[in-house]
Amino acid sequence: MTSAYLNWWRVVLDGKLIHGSNFCAAELGHIKVSMDGPDCLCGSQGCLEAYCSGSALTREAKALHADGQLLVDGMTLEPKEDVSAKHLIQAYKTGNEKAKAVIELGAKAMSTGIISLLHTLNPSKLILCGVLGPLYANMIRTYIKDHGLPSATKVDIIVSELHEPALLGAASLVLEYTTRRTY
């Protein structure tokens, strides 16, 4: 059984961290899903990160707020509170159609990138991590079912219950680097 753990920047395949020749493999947030998409922090355009990361959602929340389209009934901002992804998610959960469109586009972009990985690696399990995993999970499952090859639709998609997956991932990278590197 092949299992893969995927987050923005690492892949664990069959229990082994995939790190590449320069320890920078699997920059999954920089998989291109659009040739002319939004600018990414890496300097490119159309990366997954530019659509569905916390910083992308914050960017979109600020744009909606500037246009007066973010806050819906029952939502308020505290004085001096910065608009962030949490406000977009709150607006989405309260039925804001503009926020819904942003979240769904992010889920579609993430699903598109994940389908490419599923078609390439064909794992039996995909573990979504981070605070956005639960938000995107069902939309990703649906998109994969509707758009993936039959082999990809059999993947078990779960949401990690780890509280700090990025820190644990970074620690595992350090351990991998220090224990397996040859000099």
Comparing C-alpha atoms, which of 82, 81, 112, 86 is closest to residue 99?
Answer: 86
Residue whose token pair is 């078990």 = 156
Taking CA atoms, 4 is separated from 114, 149, 182, in Å, by 11, 18, 25
Residue 183 pLDDT: 47
Q: Give tens-digit pLDDT for 10-58.
A: 677 777 777 778 767 777 888 899 999 999 999 999 999 999 999 999 9
In tens, the pLDDT along 65-83 reads: 999 999 888 888 888 899 9
Q: What DSSP designation does 131 have?
A: T
pTM metric for this prediction: 0.83
Domain ranges of the chain: 3-180
- Residue 29 · residue 117 · CB < 8 Å: no
pLDDT at 122: 85
DSSP 128: E
C-alpha–C-alpha distance, residues 43 and 78, integer Å: 33
Assess whether pLDDT exceeds 60 at residue 2. Answer: no
Secondary structure of residue 39 in the 3-state scheme: strand
Please identify, in words, the CATH class of the domain defined by 3-180: alpha beta
pLDDT tens readout for residues 137-182? 999 999 999 999 998 898 999 888 876 666 666 666 677 667 765 5
**Checking phi first, is residue 44 left (phi over 0); if not, alpha (psi -120 to 50) or beta?**
beta
Q: Are strands 3-6 and 11-13 parallel, antiparallel or unpaired?
A: antiparallel
Token duo for residue 45: 């355009």
